[in-house]
Amino acid sequence: MSGKINNDDKWKITEDTLGYIISRIQERYEESLSEGDDDFNNGRKLAFYEVLDMMKNDLESRGYSLDDFK
């Protein structure tokens, strides 16, 4: 229940996890777009965008598209 997990366990869970994580961030980002246009919300929108952009790049550098995970 504690300590480091081994590699086999570690990656078994990603099979149903990465796609879910991406869709949740995407959802949060889309919700943020309809929120207020003040500095705070604009900073928040930017960070969600940055995260999705990083993930997009990480996936594209491996030959995949973010859309494949939606």
- Site of interaction with a copy of itself (CB under 8 A): 4-5, 10-11, 13-15, 17-18, 20-21, 24-25, 28, 32, 38-48, 50-51, 54-55, 58-59, 62-64, 68-69
CA distances from 60 to 12, 56, 65 (A): 22, 6, 5
Q: How far is the CB of 61 from a copy of itself (least distance, A)?
A: 10
Residues in the chain: 70
Given a contact cutoff of 8 angstroms between Cβ atoms, the answer to whether 28 and 47 are in contact is no
Residues 6+ apart with CB under 8 A from 19: 69, 70
Q: Which is nearer to a copy of itself, 34 or 51 (CB)?
A: 51
Q: How far is the CB of 34 from a copy of itself (least distance, A)?
A: 15
Q: How far is the CB of 27 from a copy of itself (least distance, A)?
A: 10
